[in-house]
Amino acid sequence: MLRPTVDMMEALRLTRQGKLQAAMAVLQGTPVATSPPSGKTGEAVIDMVPPSSQSGGAWTASPTNAGSRLAPRGETASRSSNARTSFFDRLRRSASGTTHSELPAGATFDSYIFANEAGSRNYKLYVPSRFKGEALPLVVMLHGCNQSPDDFAAGTRMNERAEQQMFLVAYPAQTASANPSRCWNWFNGRDQQRDLGEPSLIAGLTRRVMEEFPVEPGRVYVAGLSAGGAAAAIMGATYPDLYAAIGVHSGLACGAARDISSAFAAMRDGGYRTDASSARTRTTVPTIVFHGDRDTVVSPVNGDQVIAQATPDSGLVTTVDRGAGYTRTIQADRTGRSVLEHWTLEGVGHAWSGGSPTGSYTDPRGPDASAEMIRFFLQHTVIPH
């Protein structure tokens, strides 16, 4: 795919100033790709590098080699989508290029591939060392822009949680052909619908893990950061029968944008159709949200909108818990079980709270988002209808 020569910094600057028409003129006045990504006709991609300490907290235009800067490691291994062997055979298989030297003895973190009509995606699966074939919960983790499964696992330390608390973790990998900065395409209409686009791929690989490994019925969860957080919100909205709860860190609500211009607007001011009434037309799932109050990439109002979209008509009791560096708003059902949690992180920007500096876009300060998400997730089970 040809890379568009768009002055994205100028477009973002105009968007932040509220000059959306001018921003669109910048975007539209440049050559377009001669071949659409992943067979998606007429859909744009956001080709931006997320903030870092080097960029001073601002998004920057992606260089031509941005896709390889944090290219996934050990993801060259593949297997036929119709291969059927026992999960014990899969545990013994070591994926080509996968390094296990830092894993606990007996644990595996192998690479696989899933394909359907919408395309294909690599994913990695962590299986804890004490696994003996019993059914375990499954957590699906969706990385942010310019991240990989290895990078995201390192930054969130979710594999360490899985080792301690015994669950499986799957990490789907976005491709550079679908988005040059490896962002999940949360702003494209096709990628906001059940059984289409990226939701079908993420749900499909989730079900593949459930077919080939013993997964505890009704205990499957999905979480993500930034673009991955927005994708997690989409998965909760489109597959409430599959995911028992979702976690959205620094992300946006399902339907927050419909194209590239409204994506920038949503990141700055919130989504265009994400009020509570939009959720009443579909089943909602228990949701936990983390968002820094100093996030200048995705406005904190988006965290409010994720919660609003997940809020049922009635029946929840609200309490507020304030601690060191955070405010947690809890909405619980009549049994006292938390159904919605909104963590506002004081002084935190666009980064995974309590994460490890060995991964990208993390802030070691503040609550441990991974630990709190798992605590929240394991309270919830999907009840078959």
Q: Which domain holds residue 172?
A: 74-377
Hey, which residues does 121 pair with through a beta bridge? 114
* Mean pLDDT, range 162-175, rounded to an integer: 98
pLDDT confidence of residue 35: 36
- Whether residue 124 has pLDDT greater than 80: yes
- For the ranges 134-138, 141-145, 146-150, 314-318, the lowest mean pLDDT is seen at 314-318
Dihedral sign for Cα 344, 165, 183, 236, please: negative
Burial of 137: CB neighbours in 10 Å, binned 0-12, 13-18, 19+: buried
Q: Is residue 28 part of a domain?
A: no
pLDDT in tens, 326-376: 999 999 999 999 999 999 999 999 999 999 999 999 999 889 999 999 999
Residues with Cβ within 8 Å of residue 92, at least 6 apart in sequence: none
H/E run at residue 200: helix 197-212
Find the CATH number of the domain harbouring 328: 3.40.50.1820
Q: Is residue 161 part of a domain?
A: yes
Q: Is residue 385 part of a domain?
A: no
d(CA 184, CA 140) in angstroms, rounded, equals 14
pLDDT confidence of residue 242: 98
Amino acid residing at 237: A
Structural tokens at position 351: 């980064």
Q: Which of 254, 238, 236 minimizes the C-alpha distance to 246?
A: 236
d(CA 198, CA 312) in angstroms, rounded, equals 26
pTM > 0.95: yes or no? no
pLDDT in tens, 186-229: 999 999 999 999 999 999 999 999 999 999 999 999 999 999 99
Q: Is residue 61 part of a domain?
A: no
Do 274 and 203 form a contact (C-beta atoms < 8 A)? no
- Pick the more confident residue, 53 or 212: 212
Q: Is residue 221 part of a domain?
A: yes
Structural tokens at position 206: 């989730």
Q: Is residue 141 part of a domain?
A: yes
Q: How confident is the model at residue 23 (pLDDT cuts 50, 70, 90)?
A: low
Q: How confident is the model at residue 94 (pLDDT cuts 50, 70, 90)?
A: very low
Do 220 and 382 form a contact (C-beta atoms < 8 A)? yes
d(CA 342, CA 369) in angstroms, rounded, equals 11
Torsions phi, psi for 173 (to 5 deg):
-115, 125
Torsions phi, psi for 366 (to 5 deg):
85, 180
pLDDT confidence of residue 231: 98
The overall average pLDDT reported for the chain is 80
d(CA 305, CA 328) in angstroms, rounded, equals 15
pLDDT confidence of residue 284: 80
Q: What is the DSSP string of 101-170?
A: TTSPTT-EEEEEEEEETTEEEEEEEEE-TT--S--EEEEEEE--TT--HHHHHHHH-HHHHHHHHT-EEE
Q: Is residue 107 part of a domain?
A: yes
The number of folded domains in the chain is: 1
